[in-house]
Structure 1
């Protein structure tokens, strides 16, 4: 189930945006990463979808490792933001990589 509510922006990168949200079916806080394109050309959309699928395959392959976030669900974005080419719902981590590195 990919339905979520109350998204709050956590950050923005070259491949899309990451939000903190509540998964509606469980009430759990999650991270939602939307893969977006700068332009709406077919080539850009295909590239974004391929990158999203590659990330999903890697997360599935590495799933269960304590240092890899858990993938909860995926979707194509007909139901989310304009320009979105795919989205991943993942467990929400409490800290950033920067914060983790500063603790080491």
Structure 2
């Protein structure tokens, strides 16, 4: 990485906390939609969706351009696989080799 590493990592950690809160709000509403029990999106849900989308896009851009390249340069294949498995588990996504 380089200059400002600590600030970038702190920002990403903060992003994770905010994204978790926003996702919880959106997930509840989306589950209601799935069950055909949801009302149209309220202004609060629409705002949460916009905030989530914008923050997530910016967050992913930083991870893809700074974090992942730095990690790949410092980690072996097993460590990279473990990182991917951890990320998949946090999202409840099945890892391809499972």
Normalising to structure 1: TM-score of the pair? 0.31
Structure number having the greater strand percentage: 1
Structure number having the greater helix percentage: 2
Point out the structure with max Rg over C-alpha: 2
